Amino acid sequence: MVSARVIKAVIPAAGLGTRFLPATKASPKEMLPLVDKPIIQYVVEEAVAAGIREIIIITGRGKRAIEDHFDVSFELEENLRENGKKVLLKEIQAIADLADFCYVRQRHARGLGHAILCARHLIGDEPFAVLLGDDILDAKAPAIRQMMEIYRRFGGPVVGVQAVPRSEVHQYGIIKAEPMEPDLYRITDLVEKPSPQKAPSNLAVIGRYILTPEIFEALEETTPGKNQEIQLTDALRILARKQSMYGKRVEGVRYDAGDKLGFLKATVEFGLKRPDLGESFRRYLKGLAL
């Protein structure tokens, strides 16, 4: 019997980050800083705030910096201690204590679906969350927690969605769904990057999922596409035909931190919210001759 509690999260982080070259030639895109924290730390903190304590990060070659970031740094901590920087020391120590981390290397770049398959032996028969690092969600209640509530009620896979302008549906996976109640839908199909004329709705899939173990069989059934990649959307379509699947309209502001413009927007808005930087930064922006 599948558990009603979600205590594990998978964070795929094996991508090459080609949209941010040359910055990502030797550094993981997940370690690009939003103000003073790497992108992936925001995602981990969202999962932890939702009650998840086991974090499985799917990595690849050249991603060792991610493991080092969430590990203890004895030399740095000792330096901060000797220099009396107690506040900064406490902040650094808290990073390693956020959760229990496990790393799995995706040896071949075969898509998001394959990355999730790499975690199968660590998930077993439990439900689990998937959080994509490119999507940063600024919300009062953690986005993944909003979806966990739906899973607790209905027991089926939950896909996070947000409404987008019709002119932008070709950039997203779009759900075909029947309304159940405000902000909740029963998904009957998913369409990857449809034209505005053929899109079944304007509800776009964002990088948050609650999945059940049945997704692994669906991924194995999925025919690889371009570059032999296994796409999660294709597996979700298979799963939606076999069991009830739900779309939760997530409350909060989403930033596509995997896109240069989205990353800049997030940097500005997160900077403005900082108590130590916000007011000075706001004055600076107002003074620009735009």
Domains of the chain from N-terminus onward: 8-273 (3.90.550.10)
Cβ contacts of residue 252 below 8 Å, gap of 6+? 137, 138, 139, 140, 141, 143
Q: What is the pTM of this model?
A: 0.92
pLDDT at 2: 52
Which pair of structure tokens corresponds to residue 109? 């770049």
Q: What is the mean pLDDT of each run of 10 residues along the chain (290 residues)?
A: 78 89 91 94 97 95 92 94 94 94 90 93 94 93 96 94 93 92 94 90 94 94 83 92 94 92 95 95 93
- Give the length of the chain: 290
Q: Does the bond joining 213 to the residue before it have cis omega, within 30 degrees of 0?
A: no
Candidates 18, 17, 49; CA nearest to 30 is 17
- 240-276 burial, b at 16+ Cβ within 10 Å, e below that, comes to beeeebbbbebebebbbbbeeebbeebbeebbeeeee
pLDDT at 108: 83
pLDDT at 1: 45
Which pair of structure tokens corresponds to residue 230? 């296994």
- Which residue, chain included where needed, has tokens 């199909």? 189
Cβ atoms of 122 and 56 closer than 8 Å: yes
Classified as helix, coil or strand, 192 is strand
- Measured distance CA(34)–CA(42) in Å, rounded: 9
- Which residue, chain included where needed, has tokens 């990060």? 57
